Chains A and B, each alone.
Chain A
Amino acid sequence: MANRKASRAVDIAPRSLAEVRTETVECDLLIIGGGNAGCFVATEAKRLDPSLRVVIMEKAEIMRSGACSAGMDALNTYIPEGKTPEDLVRWSRAQVGGGPLREDLALSNAEELNEAIDDLERWGLPILRDENGKIRYRGKWDISIHGEQLKPIMAEKAIEAGAEVYNRVVGTGLLMDGGRCVGAMGLGVRDGLFYVFRARSVVVSTGGAGTLYKSYTADSTDSGAQIWMCPYCVGSGYAMGFRQGAELSSLEQRWVATRTKDFCGPVDTISVGYKAPIINCKDERVMSRYAHLGGDAAPRFIRANAPMEEWLAGRGPCYCDTRNMAPELVQAMMTDYLNERPSFVLFLASRGQDVTKEPIEIYGSDPYIMGGHTMGGFWVDMQRMTTVPGLFAAGETAGGNPNKFVGGCAAEGKLAARGAIAYMAAGLETPDEAAVSAQVESEKARVYAPLLRGKDYDGVTPTEMKERLQRLMDEYAGGSSQFYRTNEERLDYALRHIKMLQSQFAYLKAADLHDLMQANETMDRVDVAEAVVHHLKARRETRWAGWQTRSDYPGRDDANFDCFVETRRDPATGEVTAFTRPYEQLVPGDRFKA
């Protein structure tokens, strides 16, 4: 049991790879990413088998890392009395326009859901209850919390359970034995060491991928990271697995949401939590236009896209109409924001805005890949094992199962831990040592190359390449500036330029270890973006307008695309191929209704 603290940043300027020290850590279960899902993998694994050596490779410091670092104001799913896990799957299915979705995964997650949330409350998370002690529902499935301390609460339990946390170690690549995963490697961003984690099984839980697309607030100014998704979740987990041949599922179902304008903050807090209707500049109720699809309860992608459609039609700006809110409700709403994105309260103060006089403006977010919200992530089996043996995925990193949110990512962490333990119990062969050390040397060379080139090298900075990618994705692969639309020709253009970026990895340079982390993150972003574009290209229909809009194929095509779009990258050649997998309806009922 240990939370291994990082040191202050050191300045290292190695002149050769030989000067970079390698630290090898042996463990049974390696968890890459100690966020929401990762903390639950650790607690469950140690609960089931306290003798296991469980190690977390954590990019930041586990108390405040990842998407939950700022806190949380609600848990979007908790099955109420009288409802069943099947009902939750029906709701999730309707929210994604009838699917396809992995109902097998969704159902097993739903069965674990409430227990995982009960754990959080037992660990000290305040869940709001009414005067009779009953949990207070915000909407049909979501409950309110005071989750400012959500992340430290989860992290403390993972440490208490006995996990060993290596903070400030950034995962860069998997360690393979033939086609099987036997660990991972990473960069010590404070101490400059190259870390090699040898493991019997690995769970990747690095979150989703923000920052692939340009945000409309990125004005070459101080607001480059004003996005809704945590900007430090860049998709490294997807990239690491993809480079080793793990199959990705459904990345074309991007997460795009209606967010507060100019500060990409949550909107469900206002529109669902406080019933503030969405209106356009003419004071018209926007969702009434979608009455045939459920109006205010329409599927999520329709609600996300609706305000942007108003803008396109010349009826923007749009607002959440907070003008009729009573003062005590405003106080409660601000408290919710302080729990999840406190700086939104600061934003309103910096606009001098009284929300009872001036409504809160809303707009579409930049697109994210997030397997906990929509369903882009690794294809996994019921044990949460990816198509690479020994490599498991949980939370935002695992695909096929949308609407997991905090509770579902926690539940899936438990399932992945059980899967990994069962895999280890089956008995594993000893890895080929020569092959392992060759990989360590080649990965070390790849990771440190930008630093060895040095800051005076006439090359490309990580930020320059990141911003080139973000603009490319925004304009050609359906970003917010294009109202999420794209077509075959634009996607081909994006792919050509992604190939050019990949060929220019050889010019990346880094001045220090932080820069070196960013250089590696940028390479990961480019590799994930390539997969996203292949997914968008392969789905030649428009199934979830906003999340996935093809101008050249504007309608839904059930005959050809009521199925999953998948990609796999050949580890030897780097060539990406797209294919489909069939959808299977397991929970009976009308797919479009909850």
Chain B
Amino acid sequence: MPPRILTEKCNGCEGLPESRCEEACPGNLMVVDAATGKARCRCTRDCWDCMSCTKACPRAAIETRIPYQLGYHKASLRPIMGKEHITWKCVDIHGVETTYKYRNRLAVAPATQTDKNA
């Protein structure tokens, strides 16, 4: 079950022409369900686990999970997008937490960064 939607946080990016996760997914897998107004993944087995949706979600409402057939319950990896930095918080199945933070952009002349989190 690669992208797991935290439905209490997801609002389907109400008001936007396209939700952030359906915009980001390179496989066209994310869709906002017309009935519930929440995002869902059409087909979890087609997910590459690239985490583009997880990075793009403005409400941290998407968690990427490794399919159970490959990895045990439950670990988490959460990206926090900054302007020129990214921070990752990882918790393994034993509860050990590790944080990684590094620069992912050099400052350059003004450019429109549309691939960022709020």
A345 touches B77 (CB 8 A): yes
B residues 22-75 near A (Cβ < 8 Å) are 22-28, 31-32, 42, 44-52, 56, 64-75
Query: With the chains together, A262 CA to B48 CA distance in Å?
Result: 13
A66 touches B46 (CB 8 A): no
Query: With the chains together, A31 CA to B69 CA distance in Å?
Result: 39
Tell me if B6 counts as interface (CB < 8 A to partner A). no
Q: Which residues in B have their C-beta under 8 angstroms from that of A347?
A: 66, 70-71
Query: With the chains together, A121 CA to B106 CA distance in Å?
Result: 8
A350 touches B44 (CB 8 A): no
B77 touches A346 (CB 8 A): yes
A60 touches B28 (CB 8 A): yes
Nearest CB in chain B to that of A125: its residue: B106
A514 touches B28 (CB 8 A): yes
Find A223's partner among B67, B73, B79, B92 (CB 8 Å cutoff): B67
Given contacts A9-B22, A231-B48, A349-B93, contact A146 B102 (CB under 8 A): yes
A153 touches B105 (CB 8 A): yes
A70 touches B88 (CB 8 A): no
Tell me if A226 counts as interface (CB < 8 A to partner B). yes
Q: Which residues in A have their C-beta under 8 angstroms from that of B73?
A: 350
Q: Which residues in A have their C-beta under 8 angstroms from that of B77?
A: 342-343, 345-346, 349
Q: Mark A119-132, 1 if CB is under 8 A from B, else 0.
A: 00111111000000
Find A6's partner among B23, B65, B105, B112 (CB 8 Å cutoff): B23
Tell me if B5 counts as interface (CB < 8 A to partner A). no
Give chain B nearest CB distance to A500 CB in angstroms: 25
Give chain A nearest CB distance to B118 CB in angstroms: 15
Q: Mark B83-118, 1 if CB is under 8 A from A, else 0.
A: 000101011111000101011111110011111000
Query: With the chains together, A227 CA to B45 CA distance in Å?
Result: 11
Q: Which residues in A have their C-beta under 8 angstroms from that of B45?
A: 221-225
Tell me if A5 counts as interface (CB < 8 A to partner B). yes
B111 touches A231 (CB 8 A): no
Find A517's partner among B1, B19, B28, B93 (CB 8 Å cutoff): B28
Query: With the chains together, A147 CA to B92 CA distance in Å?
Result: 24
Give chain A nearest CB distance to B67 CB in angstroms: 4
Given contacts A8-B17, A65-B26, A352-B93, contact A221 B105 (CB under 8 A): no
Query: With the chains together, A65 CA to B27 CA distance in Å?
Result: 8
Q: Which residues in B have their C-beta under 8 angstroms from that of A69?
A: 26, 48, 50, 52
Query: With the chains together, A64 CA to B21 CA distance in Å?
Result: 11
Nearest CB in chain A to that of B77: its residue: A346
Q: Which residues in A have their C-beta under 8 angstroms from that of B75?
A: 346, 349-350, 352
A149 touches B115 (CB 8 A): yes
B72 touches A7 (CB 8 A): no
Given contacts A126-B104, A217-B70, contact A514 B18 (CB under 8 A): no
Find B46's partner among A190, A225, A348 (CB 8 Å cutoff): A225
Query: With the chains together, A193 CA to B91 CA distance in Å?
Result: 44
Query: With the chains together, A331 CA to B49 CA distance in Å?
Result: 21
Q: Which residues in B have their C-beta under 8 angstroms from that of A217?
A: 69-70
Nearest CB in chain B to that of A168: its residue: B28
A-B contact pairs, 22 of them (CB 8 A): A7-B17, A7-B18, A60-B25, A64-B25, A64-B26, A70-B48, A149-B115, A152-B115, A168-B28, A223-B45, A225-B27, A225-B46, A232-B27, A232-B48, A343-B49, A346-B71, A346-B76, A350-B71, A350-B72, A350-B74, A352-B75, A514-B28
| Apart from A149-B115, A223-B45, A343-B64, 17 more pairs, CB < 8 Å | A3-B114, A5-B18, A5-B23, A8-B22, A8-B31, A61-B23, A69-B48, A69-B50, A217-B69, A221-B67, A222-B1, A225-B46, A231-B27, A343-B77, A345-B90, A347-B66, A514-B28
Q: Which 3 residue pairs are nearest across A and B when measured between Cβ atoms?
A: A350-B71, A224-B45, A222-B67
B interface residues (Cβ-Cβ under 8 A, vs A): 1-2, 17-19, 22-28, 31-32, 42, 44-52, 56, 64-77, 79, 86, 88, 90-94, 98, 100, 102-108, 111-115
